[in-house]
Amino acid sequence: MAEEKAIEKKAKVADPVAASIDKATQEMIVRAQELGIDTCFDRAVTLKPCNIGNQGTCCKNCGMGPCRLPLGKGLAEGEEDTRKGICGATPNTIAARNFTRMIAAGAAAHSDHGRSVAEVFLSAARKETDAYQIKDTQKLLDIAPYFNVATTVKSEDGQDLDRDIDEIALEVAEVALREWGKEEGELLYLKRAPQPRYEIWKKLGVLPRNIDREVVDIMHRTHIGVDQDYKNLMKQGTRCALADGWGGSMMATDLQDVLFGTPYPLQSEANLGIMKDDHVNIIIHGHEPVLSEVIVAVSQSQEMIDYAKSKGAKGIQMGGICCTANEILQRHGVPLAGTFLQQELAIVTGACDAMVVDVQCVFQNLANVAKCFHTKLITTHPMAKMEQDNVIHIEFDEHHALEDAKKIVKLAIDNFENRKGKGSFIPQYKSPLIAGFGVESIKYHLGGTWRGDYFTLNDNIINGRIRGIGAVVGCNNVRTRHNEGHITVVKELIKNDVIVLTTGCNAIACAMEGLLTPETAQVYCGPGLAEVCEVVGIPPVLHMGSCVDNSRILLAATEVVRAGGLGKDLSEVPAAGSAPEWMSEKAISIGQYVVASGVYTVFGTTFPTSGAPVFQDYLFKGHEQLYGGMWDFEPDPIKHAHKMIAHIDKKRKALGIDKARERVLMSMEDRQKLSAA
C-alpha cells in the first residue's frame, strides 16, 4: 500500500525532458524533485486548467454566477447557439468581457510601470534625488517635440538658441505624467504612428483619451448589465490596448532610455550557468528598472566588492529573471539567469544569496522554495508583498534609492556565509549573446555610417534577401514545453529569411539557445538573411528589450514605413507578430495593440475565446477589415511560423515585390541555366 502510494506520488511530478527543451532547466527540475521541492512544472502535472475558463466563457462578474457556458462538442452547421447566463449574457458577450478585462489588466501593468518611471523622471528633473540623472540628453531632445515641449527659444534678434536641458526635462516630465489622467484631448504619442494609421484609429473612434480612463472604462462597461455588444466591448478593448502600446509602454521605454541610457549592442551571457559558486549571487526579478538600475550600480561599487571579499566571496555576480533581466542586460550587460519559468530553479541551485523582486510575473511559491535554502527573498514594491513570514520587505523609494540598494546588496553579502556547507548545484549551461538593439541602433547598424537610416533594411526587404520581419515576443507557459515553441518558431522564421525582432521571455529563450549571436546566421538562416547578417555583422534575431519595449518594435516598423518603398502604413509592411508561449494578461494587451496597429499576430498554447466562435471570428477575421491586422491561433510551432510567412508573402505580393525575392533566391544552377538560355 505504502509502495503504491509512493508510485502514485512519483507519477505526479513532471517529466523534466517533457517539461523543457533546456538542459539547465531539466537538471534543476530533477534536483528540486530529489530535494522534495515542488516547482511550477510539477504543479502543472497535478493541477489541470479549467476547461470552461480556458474557453473564455465563464462569467463571474456578479454574485449570481459563476455562469459557465462551455461549448461542448461545438455547434452543428446552422445550429443556433442558445447558451446564456442568468442575466442572458451570451458566450460572445462573456468572452468579450473577459478578453477586454485581460487587456485592461495588461495595459494597467505596463502603464503603471510607465507611471513609476515618469515619477522618478520628475524627481530627477526636479533634482530631488542623487540616484538618478538625465543620462541621454539626445534622446530627451528627440522625444521633447512629441510632448509639445520646445527645445529651442528665440533670442531677441530672432535666432534659435538651445534651451536649458534641465528646463526641457522638467517640462517633459510634467507633460508626460499628465498623459495618465488628463481631462481632455488624446494621447500625444499617437501622432508618432504613420498618418494613415492614425486616421484609421480616428475614424473608428479608438484614439485613447488618457491612459487611466481607458482602463477604468473597461472595468465599468464589463460590470454586470452594462456593455452587451461584443463589437462595442472590443472597440474599448482596442482603445485601451493602444493606450498601452502607443502610450504607457512607449513612454516607459523612452523615459527609461533618457534616465538610464538608450541601449546599444553589447555582449553578455544567458542561463543559470551564469551564477558562480564562489561569488555572492544576487538575482533580480520583476519589471521596473528604477530599482535594479541602482542595485546594479551599487553592486559594482568598490565598496561593495571589497565588502564581499571581506566575507570570503570572490565578488558579486548579478543575474536577472524576466523583464528586469532584459532591462539590466540591454543597458549594462548584466547576464540573464533565465526566463519566467526558471525563477524557482534559480533558488534551487542553492547558490542564490538574495532574490530581489518588484512587480509582475513573480511566483508566490518563491517564498516556499526560499524556505528550503539560505536564500533571502526580498520584496521591494508597496504594491507587491507576500504573506509568507520568511520574506523580507525593503520598500524602495527613489528619494533614498541608494541607501535602499545598499541595504539590499549588503544583506545578500552577509548571507553568503550562510551558504557554506549546504552544498550548491549550478547547472553548467550558458550561452553567449548580443543584446541591446533598438530603433536607434538598427538605424546605425543597418544604415551604416554614411546612411544612418532604414533605407538599407528596406532595400534588403525589397530585393528579397530579407523576406520580412517577424516580431516574436512574450512569455513561457508551463502548459507547453518550456522554450520549445519559442525556439522552433524563431528558427523556422530565420530559415525562411525572416529577420526576427524579439523582446520579453522569447528574447531570453533565444539567448539561452545561442540565437542572439552573429554566428547563428550561417547555421540557421536562409541564404538571403545569412548574407545580410554577415555583411552587416548582426545576429538574425535582434534583442529589443523587455515587454514594454515592444514599443521599440512599433517605432522600428514606423521607421520602415517612413524610409519608403514598403507601403504607407504599418499594415502594408511584410511583417507578422507572434507569442508562441504566451500566458500573461500583458500579452493580450500587446497582441491587441499590435493587431490594431495593422499587424497579423499569431498566439500559441491556448486562446482565451475558443468557447465563443462568433466573437473569436471577429478577432481573427473581422479585425482585418477594420485594422488590416488580425489575431490568429496556432499551437503547432512549425505551422505557426508558416502562417506568419504566408502573411508576409501576401504583403510582398500586394507591394509587387514578390518577384524580386524569387530572383534573389535562385540557386546557382538556376542562374547558370538562365545565362545559358
Residues forming the site for ligand NFS (CB under 6 A): 287, 322-323, 340, 361, 474-475, 504-505, 547, 584, 586
Q: For ligand NFS, which is the closer residue by CB, 177 or 548?
A: 548
474 versus 629: smaller Cβ distance to ligand NFS: 474
Q: Which is nearer to ligand NFS, 263 or 504 (CB)?
A: 504
Minimum CB distance to ligand NFS, residue 459 (Å): 32
Q: Which is nearer to ligand NFS, 474 or 567 (CB)?
A: 474
- Identify which of residues 285 and 467 has a Cβ nearer to ligand NFS in the complex: 285
CB of 323 to ligand NFS, least distance (A): 3
- Please tell me the distance from the alpha carbon of residue 28 to that of residue 426, in angstroms, as a whole number: 8
Shortest distance, CB of residue 125 to ligand NFS, whole angstroms?
A: 26
Write the single-letter amino acid at 64: M
* Residue 501 contacts residue 557 (beta carbons within 8 Å): no
Q: Which is nearer to ligand NFS, 468 or 474 (CB)?
A: 474
Q: How far is the CB of 500 from ligand NFS (least distance, A)?
A: 15
Rounded Cα gap, residues 527 and 521, in angstroms: 9
Closer to ligand NFS at the Cβ: 574 or 608? 608
Residues 6+ apart with CB under 8 A from 131: 294, 398, 401, 402, 405
What CA–CA distance (Å, rounded) separates 398 from 119? 9
Give 306: exposed, middle or buried? Use CB within 10 Å, 0-12, 13-18, 19+.
Answer: exposed
CB of 295 to ligand NFS, least distance (A): 18
What are 484's three cell numbers?
520549445
How far apart are CB 618 and ligand NFS at their closest, in Å?
A: 25
Q: Spell out where 295-335 has E strands.
A: 316-321
Reduced to 3 states, what is the DSSP secondary structure of residue 577?
strand
- How far is it, in rounded angstroms, from Cα 97 to Cα 223? 9
Distance of CA 80 to the CA centre of its chain: 40
The strands making up 468-472's β-sheet, listed across from edge to edge, are 541-543, 498-502, 468-472, 575-579, 600-603, 631-633
**C-alpha span between 547 and 332 (Å, rounded):** 18
Output 359 or 533, the one with its CB closest to ligand NFS: 359
Minimum Å distance from CB 111 to ligand NFS?
12
Q: Least distance to ligand NFS from the beta carbon of 248, Å?
A: 12
- Amino acid letter, residue 93: T
Angle at the Cα of 428 from the Cα atoms of 425 and 430, rounded to 5 degrees: 130
| Nearest distance in Å: CB 320, ligand NFS | 10
Nearest to 20 by CA among 361, 348, 487: 487
State CA 409 to chain mean position distance: 27
Closest CB to ligand NFS among 304 and 361?
361
In this structure, the number of other CB atoms found within 10 A of the CB of residue 229 comes to 12
Residue 40 to residues 24, 51, 341, 365, 410, Cα–Cα distance (Å): 16, 19, 7, 8, 30
According to DSSP H, which parts of 475-610 are helical? Answer: 484-495, 504-512, 520-524, 527-536, 550-563, 585-596
Min dist CB 72 to ligand NFS, Å, is 31
Element (H, E) at 391: strand 391-393
CB of residue 475 to ligand NFS, shortest distance in Å: 3
**Minimum CB separation from ligand NFS for residue 160, in Å?**
41
- Looking at the Cβ atoms of 139 and 287, the one nearer to ligand NFS is 287
Least gap, CB of 490 to ligand NFS (angstroms): 14
| Residue closer to ligand NFS (CB basis): 200 or 322 | 322
Residue by residue, what is the 3-state secondary structure of 10-41? Answer: HHCCCCHHHHECCHHHHHHHHHHHHCCCCCHH
Please classify residue 459 by burial: count the beta carbons closer than 10 Å to its beta carbon, then call 0-12 exposed, 13-18 middle and 19+ buried.
middle
Residue 314 grid cell: 570572490
Nearer to ligand NFS, 109 or 280 (CB): 109
Closer CB to ligand NFS, residue 458 or residue 483? 483
